[in-house]
Amino acid sequence: MRAIRRFTVRTVLPAELAALGELVHNLRWSWHPESMDLFTEVDPVLWEQSGHDPVAMLGAVDSTRLRELAADRRFLRRLADAADDLREYMTGPRWYQTLPGAAEAIAYFSPEYGIAAALPQYSGGLGILAGDHLKTASDLGVPILAVGLLYRHGYFTQSLSPEGWQLEHYPSLDPGGLPLSLLKEADGAPVKIRIGLPEQRTLHAQIWVAQVGRVPLLLLDSDVADNDAAARDVTDRLYGGGTDHRLMQELLLGVGGVRAIRAYCRITGHAEPEVFHTNEGHAGFLGLERIRELTEARLSFDEAIEAVRAGTVFTTHTPVPAGIDRFPADMIERQFGGDNAWPTVPVERILALGAEEEPGRFNMAIMGMRLAQRVNGVSELHGEVSREMFKILWPGFDLDEVPIGSITNGVHAPTWVGREIMELAGRELPSLVEKARGWEGIQKISDADIWAIRGRLRTRLVEGARTRLRKAWRDRGASDAELGWVDEALDPSVLTIGFARRVPSYKRLTLMLRDPDRLRELLLDPDKPVQIVIAGKAHPADEGGKKLIQQIVKFADTHDVRHRIVFLPDYDMALGQLLVQGCDVWLNNPLRPLEASGTSGMKSALNGGLNLSIRDGWWDEWYDGTNGWAIPTADGVADPDRRDELEASALYDLIDHEVADRFYDRAADGLPRRWLEMVRHTLVTLGPKVLAGRMLRDYVVDLYTPAAASARALSADAYGSAKTFAAWRLKVTSAWPGVRVEHVEATGIGDTPEVGAALELRATVALGDLDPGDVLVQAAYGKVGQHDELIHPRYLDLTSAEVGDDGKGYYTGTLPLEHTGAFGYTVRVVPSHPLMAAHAELGLIAVPEEPAGMTNGTLR
């Protein structure tokens, strides 16, 4: 028989142990070793059996043991010290509190969060990044208020069939058994938010709060009695269901998330956010909800858009159009029109925000960008790719000026770095993980110490992999009598390569299998063997990804190599930590440039691992030739099979002739000196760059603080500036067809221009119905290509000489001729207003219709 209802009965702690509950319900323990040591002391066996989940452990610990601890003075002293440390951590000023003009609060929206294995609300890199973002915000004192959804079945757990096919399982999660608390009103009633749906239906959700250090994380849960069956299932699983289901989740995250924030701030007194950061387009509807709030407060739709845009940051994570959420436009029309229309938010205006090139489609990323004044990708290369992908939103502007910047991702070192390395580094570099300077102190650590720790971490990985491998084979139907070989699987002294990713086709899980015989030779080399540990999940609907996993598993099942290559099912945070800490080399071989950033290699680098990667994502900008190896790419090869063949061959050659050679090149004392030199160089050069602390500082300085200033400026005087700016934008947009560059004259360089000369420009511009202060007239100049295109031009603001009665303006300026070679220039007009964040923001530009008078020449 099956239970009709499932819930968790929580432990009642003795009064002397009350502080233990305080520690357990703040997820800071997940990156605080001293707290985990304390939990281990409660019951070491249960701590391991629970998978290092303190809530589950306390739910299983015997009451007799709790009474023993309540009478143990030594344990109580340690508990009191830990509780005092947490309270000081929660209340003391940190880096952010020293900044002038910083936002009082920042709302951060993401569909998934990887905080700890004990809170399985993530599927891959997006969620892990979001978790690291929150933890780092807590460490630096950044006042983030985060929003997500509580998935009752999480993503999925993974096992393998006897044939090596991925099987998905969806275990039920009871919030009562998780480190969460229900947000309640003063009278004890659970807070619930409501969203209207078509056909007179309503979506209700309650709000669970996870405390991530100093950061509250609000998780909306639709599994409440107020909902019908379909609505209850909205938060059943992460990235599950069809298009209707996905739309409901994104409505709840965006619209419901804003309403949850309002309720939380009302009840707790938390500061209202000035900045709203949406982590990918899934939460894009938050902008519509904020527009609704403002229009109901008597702003027009256009005025509300300007106020919302000013304080919104949008981060895109996908480098391919297929990765963007798109809905049929009629589905959006049904949700926001008809009997469910918002009176102050016309549905046709909503549809226009998400309109794209393909008619009838509503693009969440495009809506997110139209509703955000600041947009960024997650690595320099990804910023370039994103500017190319979305340039249609800013027609006429060169790619360099498309207003999408980049902040390269980082990782939260206390979560991902092995404790031994943290302690070793800490002896030389106190607070190493919070600082961007001082990494040169790594040079003081001896080769012997580094190598010894690397050996311990590798051994721990081998032991953990054997445990997981044995369980995986049992799940596939093998008996213990068949599994004696598992005790010899992997070798703590062998060069260990890790590969752990989600398994879409572009990440090329099976590139290593391109030449199975060559791979077998590398694995079984008698003098310099290689072993590979692999993990990854394919999306449940991705049959192609599942086939890739099956191919890897089939090869790894082969008797002669199964001790050298293993696939470990159910890739999660715990396995991820084991892998990035224990592997000597981190392998990453996506199709360039389809990796937006990729952070697993960063985690490996912080643990003394070396990267072996295609130059994509973060590795493209930070590979320096000696901090790992770059797999050559065959970018110009159109045939995908031929490209894979070439890049796989390059991968084999690198492993054989460089990676393995250096690992096994030992000095008389048994140490691989040249290898350790690369490890040391990697730590010194990459350490300060790959930290999430660097990433979050960049967000605060480059995006959050300017966004807060813009939001304050537009909301001042009862949104007077927003009204003025919206009126100005409407005027400029309406009048722009009348703006033209009519004529450009150049003097001062003669027939043979030379370096050092100066070119005098005079441009005649028709302003139409605009005033000179509405525009900026610029000369764009620099090197030109074969088709007279300006290559990374420089810009000079031209000075207004006069404005005639005919509405024409005359502008002048002097261009310096500083470099030899092909040179060209032109003149352009763009809107100008103090509240704009970029020249391209309005997507308006005027350039000469004909190149006549636009001189290109060669400087001597």
User: What are 193-234's pLDDT values in tens digits?
Assistant: 999 999 999 999 999 999 999 999 999 999 999 999 999 999
Cβ-Cβ contacts under 8 Å for 508 (sequence gap 6 or more): 589, 590, 591, 644
Q: How far apart are CA 639 and CA 636, in angstroms?
A: 9
Q: How far apart are CA 500 and CA 190, in angstroms?
A: 40
Question: What stretch of H or E contains 3?
Answer: none
Whether 757 has a pLDDT exceeding 60, the answer reads yes
Q: Is 671:677 a contact under the CB 8 Å cutoff?
A: no
Alpha-helical (H) ranges within 557-639 are: 573-582, 600-606, 617-622
Select, from the ranges 340-354, 431-445, 754-768, the one with the highest average predicted confidence (pLDDT): 340-354
**635: closest CA among 618, 655, 650?**
650
Q: How far apart are CA 319 and CA 167, in angstroms?
A: 29
Alpha carbon of residue 294 to chain centroid: 29
Q: Is 85:253 a contact under the CB 8 Å cutoff?
A: no
Q: How far apart are CA 522 and CA 660, in angstroms?
A: 9
Q: How many residues are there in the chain?
A: 860
- Per DSSP, 736 falls in state G
Identity of residue 445: I
Structure tokens at 430: 């106190």
- Residue 294's pLDDT is 98
- Residue 243's pLDDT is 93
Q: How far apart are CA 445 and CA 680, in angstroms?
A: 9
Identity of residue 690: V
Structure tokens at 491: 């070798």
Cβ-Cβ contacts under 8 Å for 469 (sequence gap 6 or more): 486, 489, 566, 568
What Rg value do the Cα atoms of the chain yield, rounded?
Answer: 29
Place of tokens 């709840």: 252
Question: What stretch of H or E contains 532?
Answer: strand 530-535
Q: How far apart are CA 154 and CA 146, in angstroms?
A: 18
Q: How far apart are CA 600 and CA 621, in angstroms?
A: 16
Q: Is 350:334 a contact under the CB 8 Å cutoff?
A: no
Instruction: Give the Å distances, CA to CA, from 262 to 313, 554, 580, 718.
Output: 19, 52, 39, 19
For the chain, the maximum distance between any two Cα atoms, rounded to a whole number of angstroms, is 98
Alpha-helical (H) ranges within 585-691 are: 600-606, 617-622, 640-654, 660-663, 673-690
Alpha carbon of residue 837 to chain centroid: 23
Show the CA angle centred on residue 367, arms to residues 366 and 368, nearest 5°: 90
- Residue 849's pLDDT is 83
Q: How would residue 3 be classed by pLDDT, with cut points 50, 70 and 90?
A: low
First to last CA, the chain: 90
Instruction: Please tell me the pTM assigned to this model.
Output: 0.95
Mind listing the pLDDT tens digit for each residue in 577-592? 999 999 999 999 999 9
**588: closest CA among 607, 609, 557, 566?**
609
Whether 282 has a pLDDT exceeding 80, the answer reads yes
Q: Is 147:113 a contact under the CB 8 Å cutoff?
A: no
DSSP 755-814: TT-EEEEEEEEE-TT--GGGEEEEEEEEEB-TTS-BSS-EEEEPEEEEE-TTSEEEEEEE
- Residue 432's pLDDT is 42
- Residue of 470 and 785 predicted with greater confidence: 470
Identity of residue 30: S
Mean pLDDT confidence for 40-45: 95
**318: closest CA among 364, 276, 358, 372?**
364
Cβ-Cβ contacts under 8 Å for 356 (sequence gap 6 or more): 326, 362, 363, 366
Whether 756 has a pLDDT exceeding 90, the answer reads no
Three-state DSSP at 107 gives strand
Q: Is 170:156 a contact under the CB 8 Å cutoff?
A: yes
Q: Is 673:589 a contact under the CB 8 Å cutoff?
A: no
Q: How far apart are CA 326 and CA 343, in angstroms?
A: 25
Alpha-helical (H) ranges within 399-506 are: 413-416, 419-428, 447-475
CB atoms within 10 A of CB 208: 21
Q: How far apart are CA 252 and CA 248, in angstroms?
A: 6
Q: How far apart are CA 175 and CA 150, in angstroms?
A: 9
**698, burial (CB in 10 Å: exposed 0-12, middle 13-18, buried 19+):** middle
Q: Is 65:14 a contact under the CB 8 Å cutoff?
A: no
Q: Is 573:116 a contact under the CB 8 Å cutoff?
A: yes
Cβ-Cβ contacts under 8 Å for 526 (sequence gap 6 or more): none
Of the candidate ranges 106-120, 277-291, 599-613, 744-758, the one whose mean pLDDT is the lowest: 744-758
Share of the chain above pLDDT 90, in %: 84
**Quick one: angle between helices 33-42 and 73-91, nearest 10?**
150
Mind listing the pLDDT tens digit for each residue in 639-686? 999 999 999 999 999 999 999 999 999 999 999 999 999 999 999 999
**650: closest CA among 595, 565, 587?**
587
Q: How would residue 451 be classed by pLDDT, with cut points 50, 70 and 90?
A: very high
- Residue 818's pLDDT is 80
Mean pLDDT confidence for 41-60: 93
- Residue 431's pLDDT is 45
Mind listing the pLDDT tens digit for each residue in 311-350? 999 999 988 887 899 999 999 999 999 999 999 999 999 9
Q: Which residues pair with 808 in a beta bridge?
A: 766
- Per DSSP, 97 falls in state G
Q: How far apart are CA 759 and CA 739, in angstroms?
A: 25
Q: What is the mean pLDDT of the chain?
A: 93
**538: closest CA among 165, 245, 122?**
165
Mean pLDDT confidence for 451-468: 97
- Residue 788's pLDDT is 85
Q: How would residue 729 be classed by pLDDT, with cut points 50, 70 and 90?
A: very high
Q: How far apart are CA 426 and CA 433, in angstroms?
A: 9
Structure tokens at 181: 């608390």
**109: closest CA among 36, 229, 222, 217?**
217
**710: closest CA among 275, 96, 98?**
275
Structure tokens at 282: 């899934």
Structure tokens at 718: 């009862």
Whether 858 has a pLDDT exceeding 90, the answer reads no
Structure tokens at 266: 């009302």
Q: Is 410:691 a contact under the CB 8 Å cutoff?
A: yes
Q: Which residues pair with 204 in a beta bridge?
A: 194
- Residue 7's pLDDT is 59
Peptide bond into 593 cis (omega under 30): yes
Q: How far apart are CA 221 and CA 175, in angstroms?
A: 10
Whether 553 has a pLDDT exceeding 90, the answer reads yes
Question: What stretch of H or E contains 816?
Answer: strand 808-816
